[in-house]
A = this chain, B = another copy of it.
Amino acid sequence: MGELELIAAIQRALGTPGGRVVRGTGDDAAVVRSRPFAVTSIDTVADGVHFDLATCSPADVGHKALATALSDLAAMGAEPGEAYVSLALPPAFAEADAIEIAGGMAALAERTGTTVAGGDVVTAGALVIAVSVTGWADSADELAGRDGARAGDVVGVTGQLGAAAAGLVVLGGDMRTGGGDGSPHRLGRQGEAELVARHLRPQPRLDAGRALARAGATAMIDLSDGLATDGRHLARASGVAIEVEAEALPLADGVAEVAHATGRDPRALAIGGGEDYELLFTISSERWEAAAASAGVPLTRLGRVLEGNGLRFAGRDAADLDLVRGYGHL
């Protein structure tokens, strides 16, 4: 199969363009009928750094490459539109695997209403996938940045935390059959598989992000690097301090079991482990109920916004958590 045939096969795997697309793949550039505000992010994943083909499938890689980019649109509250994919493949990379990467991407694109409207396939020294996504909004007020948190706001998070980090621990073969205290862990094969799926197949919170931005979220960020790091980004961009109640952290099912079996603090997996791709947001307390009613996912009230700077934890044993930067360091 030559380069042009591979590109054609990938195009077939990616499906047909959506209604906004006036010209799709096959021209020098795609032409898309726009809405008033374009919201764009580019994200990159590389073999051996963001994934390892020894522990995931090419379809997982395609899913993750698009999911991480779409998660940025979720964090702005934008409606997903188009994706443009750069696929840099090592010379010996199997064409069937390249097509499977495109297939993993296409499945997520279809589920999220995203059109893969363009791409580029090149040879390179390593497998590197960059995905640029554009979402749309009719007004800038519909969107949320990182810089609008104000003292007095409450801090919330979608879904549960720590599952992706726990899944990575499982994938790494770090689970012992006996717990740190000698008792067998009770997670089971099914529970482990669910955590691994949360690591390999993150789901961008697109609907929740749009609902929260429209409900008046003053600031929002997706948890790609973990609450400890991303919370600090939001605090710095807004010029405020964020205080999180350590006991309020919503631990995902199975996180406690993995933490106990491997001698970790489960809260550290939840705040230092990245790649949960949940949304951290701030909002005035009067708007909390409306936000919770429209978000479509469970929201947890984590803490509050204060004058000052940085992120800190409050509550019993909270001082330990201030040291967490990433689960690699635990």
Binding site for B on A (CB under 8 A): 22-23, 26-50, 72-73, 75-76, 78, 82, 84-88, 117-120, 122-128, 130, 132, 134-135, 137, 140, 143, 145-147, 220-222, 237
Contacts and interface: CB of A to CB of B under 8 A. Distances in A.
A124 B40 CA distance: 23
A237 B40 CA distance: 29
B221 A44 contact: no
A49 B123 contact: yes
A145 B124 CA distance: 29
B49 A122 contact: yes
Given A34-B37, A84-B42, A85-B42, A125 B126 contact: yes
A75 B29 contact: yes
A151 to B, nearest CB: 21
A220 B28 CA distance: 9
Contacts of A34: 34-38
Contact of A76 (B28, B45, B76, B221): B28
CB-CB nearest 8 A-B residue pairs? A125-B126, A46-B124, A132-B132, A86-B130, A29-B41, A130-B130, A28-B75, A126-B126
Given A29-B76, A34-B38, A48 B132 contact: no
B88 A128 contact: yes
A86 B46 CA distance: 11
A125 B48 contact: yes
A99 to B, nearest CB: 18
Contacts of A221: 28
